[in-house]
Amino acid sequence: MAKRGMLIVLSGPSGVGKGTVRKALFEEPDVDFEYSTSMTTRKPRPGEKNGVDYYFVSKEQFEENIQNGEMLEYAKYVDNYYGTPLKYVNETLESGKDVFLEIEVNGAMQVRANVPDAVFVFLTPPDLMELKHRLVGRGTDKMDVINKRIKKAVGEISMMRNYDYAVLNDQVPLAVDRIKSIIRSERLKVARVMPDYESMLGDK
């Protein structure tokens, strides 16, 4: 049976650059993670595709999935549900492939409780002014939503201490390199540079 894959969880406040950094990371030739597409009740933004950016579903459908135990984790974030479908993550990890989740902090803490050997990375902005600047610059949310997201960010940033790693996203290529170092180091831990005692002792 294939060795179970590694689960890496990237969180951080809205607008810090999770999506941007994740896309840049996935373009690296030596990075080979499967991205778990989340499910949400949020309406698609212009250009977003169902099944690619998210699985866009109704509130009723989402609640049915929760009831049926089909979510690895889920959270309500600024009036909408967001969550990770369990089946894809389990099957992919079981097949030996590594999986990448990009989710907010409450969901990440649920994953922490259920998958203790997952690796938790918090992406942090240089400061709150820069975070607001990025949210405004992205131009996808109205000012009232941006303000709600910024308010939420303060609490989210205080959750950073519950993560294995904090990564500063001052510049995208630097943040990508930092995450790659974490992955390399975690792989070493998993590969465990340990002797194979059974073969050392020989057949008895």
Ligand X SMILES: Nc1nc2c(ncn2[C@@H]2O[C@H](COP(=O)(O)OP(=O)(O)O)[C@@H](O)[C@H]2O)c(=O)[nH]1
Residues sharing a CB contact under 8 Å with residue 78, sequence separation 6 or more, in sequence order = 145, 148, 149, 152
Do the annotations mark residue 195 as ligand-binding?
Answer: no
Rounded CA gap, 176 and 167, in Å?
Answer: 9
Please tell me whether 167 is known to bind a ligand: no
Residue 46 parent element (H or E): none
Site membership for ligand X, residue 92 (CB under 6 A): no
Q: Which of the choices ligand X, ligand ADP, none does residue 169 contact, using the CB cut-off of 5 to 8 A by kind?
A: ligand ADP
- Return the number of the residue (6 or 72) whose C-beta is nearest ligand X: 72
- Of 6, 57, 73, 109, the residue at the interface with ligand X (CB under 6 A) is 73
Q: Does 82 bind ligand X (CB under 6 A)?
A: yes
Chain-centre distance of CA 181, in angstroms? Answer: 17
- On whether 155 is known to bind a ligand per the annotation, the reply is no
Residue 15 binds to ligand ADP (criterion: CB under 6 A):
yes
Question: Is 107 an interacting residue with respect to ligand ADP (CB under 6 A)?
Answer: no
Return the one option of ligand ADP, ligand X, none that residue 126 interacts with (CB less than 5 to 8 A, by type): none
Distances (CA, A) of 147 to 26, 39, 46, 79, 153: 30, 24, 21, 14, 10
Please select the residue that binds ligand ADP; options are 4, 19, 148, 182, rule is CB under 6 A.
19
* Shortest Å, Cβ 30 to ligand X: 25
Contact pick of 77, 120, 163, 165 for ligand X (by CB under 6 A): 77
Give whole-number Cα distances, 153 to 61, 70, 90, 116, 150, in Å.
Answer: 28, 28, 30, 25, 5
Residue 163 CB partners (closer than 8 Å, separation 6+): 11, 108, 120, 121, 122
Region 126-185 residues binding ligand ADP, contact defined as CB under 6 A:
134, 137-138, 169-172
Give the interface with ligand X as residue ranges (CB under 6 A). Answer: 14-15, 18-19, 38, 42, 73, 75, 77, 82-84, 102-104, 107
**Which stretches of the chain bind ligand ADP, using CB under 6 A?**
12, 14-20, 134, 137-138, 169-172
